[in-house]
Chain A
Amino acid sequence: MDVHALQQIVHRSRDARRKQTIPKFSQAGCDQLIHKYHPDYRERAYRPIRFGPNSGDKTVVELASLLEGDSPIADEFDLTADYTTDVLVVGGGGAGCAAALHAHAAGAKVMLATKLRLGDSNSVMAQGGMQISVASGDSPVTHFLDTLKGGHMQNDHQLLKVMVEEGPSIAKWLLSLGVLFDRDGDGNLHVKKGGGSSKPRLLTCSDYTGLEIMRVLKDEVLNQKIQLLEFCAAVELTSDEKGNCTGAIFKDLDNQRHVVVAAKSVILATGGIGRLHIQGFPTSNHYGATGDGLCLAYRMGAKLMHIDTFQYHPSGAVYPEQLIGALVTEGIRSEGGHLVNAKGERFVNELDTRDVVSSSIIRECEEGRGIRTMSGRIGVWLDTPLLDAEHGDGTLEKHFPAMMLQFERFGIDISKDPVLIYPTLHYQNGGVKIDTNSETNVPNLFVAGEASGGLHGRNRLMGNSLLDLMVFGKRSGMTAAARAAAMPQGKLTVGHLKGFRAEAKKHGSSNGIVSPMILPAYTRKG
């Protein structure tokens, strides 16, 4: 059928749906739904990791293979340093920029390396906002409890307390750099309500929150003349005789040469794994989201946690073809957008947590109430025109300019017609286990942002990622910088690979996979 004909049911059912209130699931109902429909519970997609710090723990097969993968660096590699620095930051997204800026401000010599350009990241795409309890009726404690509930009570309490308490000072820092958060009439920061939050707590810059923050942070990294190493992918870390981290080895993607950097501390801010397309899911992630930091840290002996749980954002575009996987911001649901099945019915409280909403969309589709596309995709409608109907014409244009433009390019006016969506692989809930200074169990190896684990439990709440990046980027940067002055540069070896390779051999791992992946293999061969 013509897409417009299929959309009619959304238009026809709109008024009836506006009168409806859909209750949130009870705890038991929510558990049942997730266990039955959430991709995290598809047994066949998982296997135990055979060796290393998380030996026996289950994760998705795509990630397990990379974690067990061999290093591209040979035991006898020449480790003469090309650069020497106090703090080496790997990754140029939000966490990396925050870490570099704070370490630099604390007086350390900083180098920031990234395999793409400075700023090419998931952070730049964050549309929904940043959770910080600034409103008078809100508190860090409530932020803590909401996040804990969203994370299925599995969040690391210490990390979470640190994050929610430092949120307001992060907002102040960003404002001082010139970030233009949306304001209320009285000059206070405007807050929006996000899925799974009991209070409006999202600071936004229309639907360009991540872009606005990243424009400013990138500019500041350049203003501070922080040394950059762009188009250089980290392929291995270095360790001294005690196993402490002492630097990293990069591959320059322009000329394929190796670059060795000696550093007193290394901060991995390498982001997530969307481009592994686990379980065949499309992804909202950037080109370089291949989990490189996880592989590097794992080979050094860093413990991972919650690496069996991933976030499938409820609303990835399914139509048109060109936008498959692209994100339709949760902001649409925050402002009242309904999810509607093929029968014109709502089926979930749209502001429930992401895992619940995603599971319910999968349920609708598996039970035959989805809308299919000819390329074999399936999805449900997100009633975007409802926002203009509810809050007045021009609401979408004003609040969601990025999304309007994105669909307009393909001839779709989201203020007139609903969009078809299905969950898309969005975020790695777990990662490398860290302490409140963002340090791993490997001394002088820090991990900040999406690559770290524990903070978000088994499901990250909307808007908590941007805050995570800023808080733990800052803490890692400051801790690493404070340590640098009184510390000698450790020896550069790849001694840790000896043990890792022996383990691999013992477990018969010669699958031929070399990790990290660096970039997904999209180029058609032959």
Chain B
Amino acid sequence: MLESMAQEDSNVIDQPEVIRHKMVTVEIAGKKYEVPEGITVIKALWYSGQEVVRGAGCLGGFCGACAAYYRTKDDPKVRTCLACQMAVQDGMSITMMPPFPARKATYDMQALKDPKQDLFNLYPETPLCRNCNACTEACPQSIDVREGVWKAVFGDFKSVSEMFMDCVMCGMCTPVCIADIAPNLVALYVSRAQGAHFTEKPPGLDVRIKEIEDGRFNDEWAKILKMNEKELTDHCVTVK
């Protein structure tokens, strides 16, 4: 039926994977299942009958809850992905990443006196990076993690904060580190320090806060809040 519809209407996108609905065999945590080709890994878990509580969050590729390892057919290379953002294919082997017990340092961000030096107290393992590059290869967000770790060590906090803006904190860079660095946590500390300590305060913001405190808008508020519904509707229309 779909194919005849396509002939009648030129405004239909070809999707061979949809009309020729194909089942593929994937291995989930070591067990084989038949699932429809092209669905996301997380949907394959549901399709195979698994209740998913851990390992699913925003389903939009932002929260990092669904970090997973996968390997495609006949390829020895094990790769990483976010399970809600990866389509399954025949012969794929998949396993979800368990929560990894990385150590997060605790700190009072505002009270730090010398955040660049404090990095070495909070995360003393950071300069022990042995340049193996496994973290960069493990990152499903394509961040150059290793480079970021070194930039943190050398105090280039600004670059780190820019490089790690894509970081979803999935933590896949941590289990691979032979120096026991948790690069995502280091980068989070560094980015926060960049924002809290090394970025100038926006001058206009304090002006606006003071204006509000001083009641600069009070007359306007009084005028608006006195209006009846009709007057207010008419007034809203005048705002361009």
Q: Which residues of A contact B (CB under 8 A)?
A: 1-3, 6, 27, 116-117, 119-122, 124-125, 133-136, 139-142, 144-146, 148-149, 153, 157, 161, 165, 168-169, 171-172, 175-180, 183, 186-189, 198, 205-206, 208, 210-212, 215-216, 218-220, 222-223, 225, 231, 253-254, 284, 286-287, 319, 321-322, 326-327, 342, 370-376, 401-402, 405-406, 409-410, 420, 519, 522-525
Contacts and interface: CB of A to CB of B under 8 A. Distances in A.
Nearest to A233: B53
A168 B192 contact: no
9 tightest A-B CB contacts, nearest first: A178-B192, A120-B57, A178-B195, A178-B196, A374-B15, A374-B18, A149-B236, A286-B58, A522-B46
Given A120-B58, A402-B62, A523 B13 contact: no
B62 A171 contact: no
Contacts of B38: 321-322
A234 to B, nearest CB: 15
6 contacts: A134-B204, A149-B236, A157-B225, A189-B202, A231-B54, A420-B13
B110 A176 contact: yes
| B51, B161, B193, B205 — most chain A CB neighbours (10 Å) | B205
Interface residues of B, number: 86
B199 A180 contact: yes
B202 A187 contact: yes
Interface string B1-43: 0100110011111110111000000000000000000111001
Given A125-B58, A187-B200, A222-B104, A144 B224 contact: yes
B95 interface: no
Contact of A120 (B63, B166, B167, B207): B63
Contact of B212 (A117, A140, A179, A342): A140
B61 A286 contact: no
B8 to A, nearest CB: 11
Nearest to A283: B59
Contacts of B193: 178
Contacts of B212: 140, 165, 168
Interface of B: 2, 5-6, 9-15, 17-19, 38-40, 43, 46-54, 56-63, 65, 85-87, 104, 106-110, 141-142, 161, 165-169, 188-189, 191-197, 199-209, 212, 217, 220-221, 224-225, 229, 232-233, 235-237, 239-240
Contacts of B205: 134, 168, 171-172, 175, 188-189
B60 A327 contact: yes
Nearest to B6: A374
Contacts of A216: 188, 192, 195
B106 A225 contact: yes
Contacts of A122: 58
Contacts of A215: 167, 169, 188, 191
Given A121-B63, A144-B224, A165-B212, 14 more contacts: A6-B11, A116-B57, A134-B208, A139-B220, A168-B212, A172-B205, A175-B196, A180-B161, A218-B169, A286-B59, A372-B11, A374-B14, A522-B43, A524-B49
A120 B53 CA distance: 12
Contacts of B165: 180, 205-206, 208, 212, 401
A373 B166 contact: no
Contacts of B200: 187
Contacts of A2: 13-14
Contacts of A223: 106-109
Nearest to B167: A215
A188 B203 CA distance: 6
Given A120-B63, A124-B62, A168-B208, A177 B192 contact: yes
A524 B34 CA distance: 13
Contacts of B43: 522
Nearest to B109: A178
Nearest to B36: A321
B50 A523 contact: yes
Nearest to B237: A27
A134 B201 CA distance: 13
B169 A210 contact: no
B207 to A, nearest CB: 8
Contacts of B62: 124-125, 208, 210-211, 402
Contacts of B51: 523
A287 B59 contact: yes
Nearest to B12: A372
A332 to B, nearest CB: 16
Nearest to A230: B54
A467 to B, nearest CB: 14
Given A198-B239, A374-B15, A180 B46 contact: no
A1 B12 contact: yes
